[in-house]
Structure 1
Amino acid sequence: MDANSARSSLAVPEESIRKACGDTPLPELGLIEQVWETDPIAREAIGERAADAFGSLPLDDVPEGGEIALGVGSRGIANLSRIVAGVVAEAQDLGYEPFVFPAMGSHGGATGEGQREMLAELGVTESAIGCEIRSSMEVTEVGRTADRDVPVVADANAVAADAIVPINRVKPHTDFDGTVESGLSKMLVIGMGKQRGAKIAHDWAVDWSLRNMIPEITEQLLAELPVVGGVAILEDQRDDTTLIEGVPPEGFLDREAELLETAYDIMPTLPFSELDVLVLDRQGKDISGQGMDTNVIGRRPFAIQEPEPDLPDIKRIYTRGLTGTTHGNAMGMGSADFVHANLLEEIEMPTTLINALTASTTRGVRLPPAVETDRAGLVAAMSTIGIVDPTTVRVLRAADTMHLHRLYASTALVEEARDRDDLRVLEEPSPIRFEAGDFATPSPHETGHDD
């Protein structure tokens, strides 16, 4: 049996699901949207704002014509190529020689070419940004931590440069809570550490905790390497760029902590704290490190020394597939209760397992039961939560955990939305339309309603 046949055999036919579950009535779904007040940076101003952020950093000690290593990660950051291009242009205008290096740990299959391809998927190519990309998994040991004697490693190309500047979005992390979470510091410690550094960090996190490790190693990297600061990015609830700021080495951790507080205030979340079923059209590393943002779904597959969030409380999660940009990396699929057969076809297990081993997150890559159709997925989910009434069951369908502006919602949720100022009803509930057992309606963020 070849690999494709083996994968196909894992998907349970709809007929079998419906025979086992009986006549499970499905709810009608309407369309709602969250009402957010946002203040995004105009797209045409992104490059200039990025240039200003880089230009604000202390560059006096960088020699004229010196090389500046710009760290760029694997996340799907809005306007990423524009931001990087703006930084590159400003560095060149100031007389420096910038280059980009992938700062993404083990992503891209832990190969230099794979990481270059991930950058390209995000629009970060040499032609788009105007400078060289140096992609290698080679690292240099730059020191060891004082108390635990843990090796501290960094991308060899970056270490050889005259200056280092990470470019990253600051946001809540999926695996831990701390003063700094996902952002500039984590990129320096784990992203710039490549596969070896990421593995070291996650191994030690079992006893040390990332919340304590990342600040300590960040301070060591700031002291031992020519990190002249970072370019921090914040995104609003609509996944638009709302801030681009240069963060200098002095007060680096304190300023990132302040930015994280703002990021928490403006991050998109589900508008309901209790759900019976959540349907996600896709997951992927470009959406979240865990494929599905654990802060959104309330489930943490890593959770070493870290409690799971109290809310939201979601009884069943059904995931329909992977993003194209994730390159088959299905990290986090273990948070779902059921998945569509499409995910089996899209998954690249070597890439997924390398990521899981590096992050010590084996729970996150456990394969949930797979079903052949969306109708089977809904029936399976609803038939395992007790006796349900289609008029009162709480079902929500979202594009992914990053795009939560518009959502398909069951009748009970639509009725709640009518009484809330932060929600708007766009379409009244109607029977779910299927084609060959799969949803016939587009992903909610692709609906044609004007904002």
Structure 2
Amino acid sequence: MSEVIREVLKEIPVPKMVRIRQKFDGTKLEDPIAELNKELQKPGAIDQIKPGQQVAIAVGSRGVANLAELTKATVDAIKAAGAHPYIVPSMGSHGSATAEGQAEVLHHLGVHEQSMGCPIRSSMEVVQIDELPNGLPVYVDKIASTADAIVVINRVKPHTAFRGRIESGIMKMIAIGLGKQRGAEVTHQLGFKYMAENVPAMANKMMAKLPIVFGVAVVENAFDETCIVEVLPTAQVEEREMELLEIAKARLPKILFNQIDVLVIDYIGKNISGDGMDPNITGRYPTPYATGGPDVSKMVVLDVTKESKGNANGVGTADFTTQRLIDKMDKPGTFMNGLTSTVCAPTKLSTYLENDLLAIKAAVKTCNILDYNTCRLVRIKDTLHLGEIEISVNLLEEAKQHPDIEILSEPYDWAFDSEGNLQK
């Protein structure tokens, strides 16, 4: 690291911090698996599975709460119906767009042959089954295309790059997840401006042509806990997903400060968000087709999760990062996200510094305030965990006035280790 940079940042202050608790609606299911088992027994659910059938279960790459348990319950119910389930990784280009990589992503989420008691059949090979009126081909995983029945599991939530009646959920899992890298690529080909049209259009074509019998739709509360599990027969998927999306938006956690000078994020990763960190939380969107969240002047990301396997998509959305993250970065896997989605800004390298301390100081220096000692700084672990966060003392009075914020500590200085990294 250049001594010139060290010298420039030498006198930049790091503010004292306070730990707070943000209060959100914590309503959750006490037993999500029992709820799913009940849902599976309703008409139009497991009764559509016939003895002897080969049933493909589409499972994605997101860190959905209770994903392994929900998947295992679905596997067990299909077995109890006398059919033969197998799991198909359904995650577009994730896992470096390789069959082995996608199976490994599921393994890190607890979904593997030993835990599920059924085969994992991973392939990037697809077949074209239709075409949209605008000329976009419709692809599906070749292995899933040979199944007698298909079941899709996914969380319903706001998308990170566009707004529409259908965003991220069962229909996106069908169109992009089951479409594998090729399907994800063509869905994104005309840009996010048209995603709100193309995702449901492709999903409807696929539901019409493929034996997709139902979806397991999950909604989470602000604490990353399961609050709704519903089994949606194919004919109900589109209408009910629109309703669940509105519920998910209302449950979305947020940072309870409208203006932030510096936002520090400990971890980004594909298991957290498709964009590494959820723009709905940070206010930093990769496209102009989605808005919302706080006004953040400068943003720092410190590390990438182990589960992300080096995919640092989203690092380019930040202003600063660390040498540590860059060293862990799987550049081909990260760049594949941009090549597939056609949105390359999140896969760029943001300005990187030797350690956490210098990256944070760089953000403070460039956050466009007259007195660095007044910096409004917020630190979060990641965009999934916003219950307890840290704020600088300059936000303390505002926090005390907020009815949904509890002050948990006295002001303190951050502890950095001998290498200049935050002690976690």
TM-score by length of 2: 0.96
Shifted more, 365-374 versus 388-397: the winner is 388-397
**8 Å Cα contact 1:382-1:388 kept in structure 2:** no
Which residue identity is paired with 2:185?
K
Distance in structure 2 (CA, Å) of the matches to 1:256 and 1:61? 20
Which residue identity is paired with 1:98?
P
Residue 141 (structure 1) aligned with residue 141 (structure 2): no
Q: Secondary structure at the match of 1:325?
A: helix
Alignment deviations for residues 257-309 of structure 1 (CA, whole Å, 9 cap, x no partner): 100000001111111111000000010000100001111111122x1xx4352
Q: 1:184 aligns with which of 159, 170, 176?
A: 170
**8 Å Cα contact 1:51-1:89 kept in structure 2:** no
Q: 2:376 aligns with which of 384, 394, 399?
A: 394
CA shift at 1:25, angstroms? 2.1
Distance in structure 2 (CA, Å) of the matches to 1:300 and 1:242? 26
**8 Å Cα contact 1:398-1:408 kept in structure 2:** yes
For residue 55 of structure 1, what is the aligned residue in structure 2? 41
**8 Å Cα contact 2:28-2:227 kept in structure 1:** yes
Q: Secondary structure at the match of 2:12?
A: coil
Give unmatched runs, 5+ long, in structure 1: 1-11, 443-451
CA shift at 1:212, angstroms? 0.6
CA shift at 1:90, angstroms? 1.0
Distance in structure 2 (CA, Å) of the matches to 1:392 and 1:61? 62
Alignment deviations for residues 53-107 of structure 1 (CA, whole Å, 9 cap, x no partner): 3333345554321111110000011111001001111111121111110010111
Q: Secondary structure at the match of 1:414?
A: helix
Q: Secondary structure at the match of 2:188?
A: helix
Distance in structure 1 (CA, Å) of the matches to 2:202 and 2:196? 11
CA shift at 1:359, angstroms? 1.0
Percent sequence identity over aligned pairs: 38
For residue 46 of structure 1, what is the aligned residue in structure 2? 32
Alignment deviations for residues 19-66 of structure 1 (CA, whole Å, 9 cap, x no partner): 124522221001011112312223xx3332223333333455543211
- Could you say if the C-alpha distance between residues 161 and 116 of structure 1 is closer, same or farther in structure 2, counting changes exceeding 3 Å? same
CA shift at 1:116, angstroms? 0.5
The Cα RMSD (Å) is 1.6
Q: 1:355 aligns with which of 337, 362, 366?
A: 337
For residue 114 of structure 1, what is the aligned residue in structure 2? 101
Matches within 5 A, 1:370-389: 370-389=352-371
**8 Å Cα contact 2:254-2:281 kept in structure 1:** yes
Residue 423 (structure 1) aligned with residue 405 (structure 2): yes
Which residue identity is paired with 1:169?
R
Residue 105 (structure 1) aligned with residue 92 (structure 2): yes
CA shift at 1:377, angstroms? 1.2
Distance in structure 2 (CA, Å) of the matches to 1:173 and 1:135? 26
Q: Secondary structure at the match of 1:33?
A: strand
Residue 263 (structure 1) aligned with residue 248 (structure 2): yes
CA shift at 1:160, angstroms? 0.7
Distance in structure 2 (CA, Å) of the matches to 1:360 and 1:37? 36
For residue 335 of structure 1, what is the aligned residue in structure 2? 317
Alignment deviations for residues 208-265 of structure 1 (CA, whole Å, 9 cap, x no partner): 6110111111211111111112000111111111111101112311100100000001
Distance in structure 1 (CA, Å) of the matches to 2:322 and 2:345? 19
Matches within 5 A, 1:1-400: 12=1, 15-21=3-9, 23-42=11-30, 45-56=31-42, 57-60=44-47, 62-145=49-132, 147-205=133-191, 209-301=194-286, 303=287, 306-389=288-371, 392-400=374-382
**8 Å Cα contact 1:47-1:85 kept in structure 2:** no
Shifted more, 113-122 versus 419-428: the winner is 419-428
Shifted more, 31-40 versus 314-323: the winner is 31-40
For residue 8 of structure 1, what is the aligned residue in structure 2? none
Q: Would you say how many aligned residue pairs link Structure 1 and Structure 2?
A: 423
Q: Secondary structure at the match of 2:267?
A: coil
Distance in structure 2 (CA, Å) of the matches to 1:405 and 1:425? 12
Distance in structure 1 (CA, Å) of the matches to 2:93 and 2:412? 44
CA shift at 1:440, angstroms? 4.2
Which residue identity is paired with 1:101?
V
TM-score by length of 1: 0.90
Alignment deviations for residues 373-417 of structure 1 (CA, whole Å, 9 cap, x no partner): 222112111111234445532100100111111111100222211
- Could you say if the C-alpha distance between residues 161 and 314 of structure 1 is closer, same or farther in structure 2, counting changes exceeding 3 Å? same
Shifted more, 380-389 versus 109-118: the winner is 380-389
Q: Secondary structure at the match of 1:318?
A: strand
Distance in structure 1 (CA, Å) of the matches to 2:90 and 2:41? 21
- Could you say if the C-alpha distance between residues 38 and 373 of structure 1 is closer, same or farther in structure 2, counting changes exceeding 3 Å? same
Which residue identity is paired with 2:244?
L
For residue 3 of structure 1, what is the aligned residue in structure 2? none
Alignment deviations for residues 126-155 of structure 1 (CA, whole Å, 9 cap, x no partner): 11112111111111111112x223211101
Distance in structure 1 (CA, Å) of the matches to 2:163 and 2:357? 37
